Structure 1
Amino acid sequence: MRRMKNWIRKNSVFRTGRGAVVNVVEHDSRRVYFKSANGKMVNTIELIKLKAAIQDLFSRRTVTRKELEVYSNFSSALFGLLMSIFKGMAKLTSGAKGFRLTVIGVRFFFSGCDRAVKDLEIAKANGAEYVLMSYYYLRDDHKANWRKHVGRLGLKVMLDSGAYSVWKRREAGKDVQEIDVRDYAEFVLQHKDLIHSFITLDVVGDDVATAANDAYLRSLGLYPIPVFPAMGDLQELGKLVEADHDFIAIGATVGISETAKRTLFELIFAAFPEGRFHWLGGSSSLIVEFSWFSADSSTWLSGRKYGKLLNEQFKTTKAPKWMDGFAALAHNVRILSGLEYRYIDEMEAREEQSITAIAS
């Protein structure tokens, strides 16, 4: 919110998504007063609503002009304010849902801790705010202990359907209970206060069944994250991009070499440079080589399990002998949680250096 206050104090003009000039007439402790460059009527946006819109953008990392209508009747002006306040920190795009503002940086979801309370606590204490959990495991937690701990720690959950886990067990010849889309939907609705986002219930190798599950979830007013296999047809990915989903999960990269992944990602990002993509199971150096929207992985747990540390280039090194497993785990959390604000921190540092240089 400091950035909002600084912008209001220093600026008197901003533009809407379409480029229309808007003048800030004045502001007080409750409102911003503005009018269009060619207009006479002064309108207002309440600061409490502006703050809520900023919090929404930070929480979701992407928002459309249309979605801001819940905060103000002057959503175009509100969108323009966000554009100006987040200048250099967010990018403007236009798609099927109109103008969209997306914060730059990579949000990391810590996975592999569905039933590990100590890991959750260490993650939270070292900067983690978002975790990925699998319905495959949570459906058997009949006392909803996961919910108690996630709520206690103030974490938000991306929910994975667990379809891949079901497929793996079935391929191994093991008995496994299939996931019913109706049960999955009921779970999402029951715990929507803690679920930040959720991945659609895909059926490995069956596009028709996947589409049917996705359609059912959307018929309930839910917005599942679509999944695209990294080696899939880019024309199909293009259809998902054109639909202007908040973001799209890129999966099926487990077991692929780093070189092959890089080649696949180069093709994807070259075809859709403005795409908002979540890398399922990704935490290698490729996470900073490409403009990911978000990613998840359980690699951070290698600190506790194997004494492996992630460095600033997201390569693993051996932890020093004096560092125990939990300290190594905490180190990995700090590295990965810093991804989201890494760009913003660097940009604000450059701004402060510029101000200092001008003042001197």
Structure 2
Amino acid sequence: MIVKHQTSARSYERMFKREMKKAGFYNTASGITNYIVEYGKNAITVKTQKGGTISITRGQLRRAISFTLFKRTIIRKDMEGFSSYSSALFGMINRIFYHIARLLKLREGYRLSLKTLRFWASGLEREKNGLMLLKSIGGHFVLFNFFQILQSGTSCLKQLDRYNLYAYIDSGSFSLHNQKCKKGLQNLSLFDEETEQDMILKGYADFINANKNNPRILGFFPLDVIGNPEATKENYAKLKAMVPGANIIPVFQVSDSLKSLETLVEEEHEVIALGGLIPLMKKGLNYCRVILDRIFNIYPNINFHFLGGANEMLLEYPFFSSDSTAYLNGRRNPSQRKLYLPNAERVDAPAEINTNDVIKQNLKFLIELEEIKRVELFSFA
């Protein structure tokens, strides 16, 4: 696990200690009051509202804090790995992060998720010194593209340990779609579209089964089909059946019905990805905002991942995470040599700043979104 989170855990635990010395109690997620009997050198003794007395070590609490900072979304069951008193420990975590977290009521218990945004840096599979750059500015999270891995080999996966990085894996469907469009090959495949999708899906499933237990790979995005919600859902169902035990993150195509989104929400996933927004940006950001307003008005506490997102909408909406290659655009197109402003809008970079520094500054801005404490920034009437 990332060392800096262990350091932060000590700070958060000490703040909790100071607060408990003054208040003497905290409430669990369900509102039950737990009273601090003693906050000792090594352990915290707690009297529950029901009258029992329990003990949680400070080491257990710090490890749970570190886990929360790393995972960013937890349920009570996650705390069982740290203490047999998981409800009491979950309540402590809820109190510690109340100012930067949201609670979602589940069928059984609650989900606590941090409000800050995690950015997964895309496009570094073949970028020379890209992973080293990410590490040098404090980044730890990347999104690797299966389509690019097929072309360049799996050497990038071996670099995760070297640079202490963690990865999501994307199917590469968007890259494949773009490449076929550029080459005019949409209708020139040797196979019909369904057969071609099944062939790609089989290869992706084989890759996932070979890598699903890699502790450096935290999840996989399914093979979504741009502009085709039904095919996207079918691919997700097929992939889930082909890769038992893998963390497959569902994708909601924003062109689909809200009823389909409701179905995903009711399944209580940790994260739901929003796909299909990038092509819609050709119609303007306001067109996308209408869609996002509708989604976040109904589901303000759901963890949504913005597939391909790296613009001002990251700060306008409470996204849980996002990924993008946008920070690399300056190298690909001189007209895209732009720098982020604090509101995530981009402006032309000064001529005296070289392109490598533009990329570095933009990537630094995006990964530091996780450190911004966005308290009460979002209001959906």
TM-score range, shorter chain: 0.7 to 0.9
Is 1:155 the equivalent of 2:165? Answer: yes
Match of 2:306 among 279, 290, 315: 279
Q: State the one-letter code of the partner of 2:248.
A: P
TM-superposition CA deviations, 1:300-340 (whole Å, max 9, x none): 11244432211112122121122111111111012111211
Distance 2:83 2:325 in 1: 40
TM-score between both structures, scaled by the size of structure 2: 0.83
**Alignment equivalent of 2:259, drawn from 219, 235, 252:** 235
Shift of 1:59: 1.2
Matched with 1:308 is: 338
Q: CA RMSD in A?
A: 2.2
Question: Whole-Å Cα distance in 2 between the matches of residues 72 and 167 of structure 1?
Answer: 47
Instruction: Give the 3-state SS of the residue equivalent to 2:278 in structure 1.
Output: coil
| Structure 2 residue aligned with 1:45 | 56
In the other structure, the counterpart of 1:182 is 205
Q: SS where residue 88 of structure 1 aligns?
A: helix
1:202·1:213 contact (CA, 8 Å) conserved in 2? Answer: no
Note closer, same or farther for the CA distance 1:4–1:303 as it changes in structure 2 (3 Å cut).
farther
- After superposing the two structures, state which structure 1 stretch, 311-320 or 202-211, moved more: 202-211
Q: Is the partner of 1:178 in helix, strand or coil?
A: helix
1:76 maps to 2:103: no
Per the alignment, residue 318 of structure 1 pairs with: 348
5 Å-filtered alignment, 1:53-132, equals 53-132=64-143
Q: Is the 8 A contact 1:217 1:224 kept in 2?
A: no
Match of 1:136 in 2: 147
Distance of 2:367 and 2:103 partners within structure 1: 24
Note closer, same or farther for the CA distance 1:145–1:207 as it changes in structure 2 (3 Å cut): closer
The CA deviation string for residues 164-184 of structure 1, in whole angstroms up to 9 with x for no partner, is 333444553166872414313
2:7 paired with 1:7? no
Instruction: Please tell me the residue identity of whatever aligns with 1:184.
Output: F
State the shift of 1:271 in Å: 1.9
Q: Is the 8 A contact 1:114 1:146 kept in 2?
A: yes
Is 1:221 the counterpart of 2:245? The answer is: yes
After the TM superposition, which of the residue ranges 43-52 and 163-172 deviates more from structure 2?
163-172
- One-letter amino acid matched to 1:182: A
Shift of 1:207: 4.5
What is the Cα deviation at residue 97 of structure 1?
4.9
Specify the code of the residue in structure 1 equivalent to 2:55: T
1:64–1:97 Cα contact (<8 Å) kept:
no
CA contact (8 A) 1:304 1:328 kept: no
Task: Write out per-residue CA displacement over residues 136-161 of structure 1, whole angstroms, 9 at most, x where no aligned residue.
Answer: 1223444x320232222111111101
User: 8 Å contact 2:223–2:232 — kept in the other structure?
Assistant: no
C-alpha distance in structure 1 between counterparts of 2:328 and 2:236, whole Å: 34
Question: Residue 102 of structure 2 aligns to a residue in which SS?
Answer: strand
Q: SS at 2:241's partner residue? A: helix
Q: Which residue of 1 aligns with 2:224?
A: 202
- Percent of paired sites with the same residue: 27
**Alignment CA distance shift 1:97-1:125 (3 Å):** farther
Range with greater deviation from structure 2 (157-166 or 327-336)? 157-166
- TM norm structure 1: 0.88
SS of residue in 1 equivalent to 2:372: helix
Greater displacement, 127-136 / 181-190: 181-190
Shift of 1:221: 1.6
Q: Is the 8 A contact 2:222 2:236 kept in 1?
A: no
Alpha-carbon spacing, 1:112–1:51, altered in 2? closer, same or farther (3 Å): same
Counterpart pick for 1:31 among 13, 20, 43: 43
Deviation of 1:162 (Å): 1.5
With over 3 angstroms needed to count, the CA separation of the structure-2 counterparts of 1:217 and 1:103, relative to structure 1, is: farther
**How far apart are the structure 2 equivalents of 1:51 and 1:76?**
16
Aligned length: 342
Match of 1:350 in 2: none
Indicate conservation of the 8 Å contact 1:163/1:179, yes or no. no
Q: Which runs of 5+ in 2 are unaligned?
A: 1-8, 190-195, 377-381
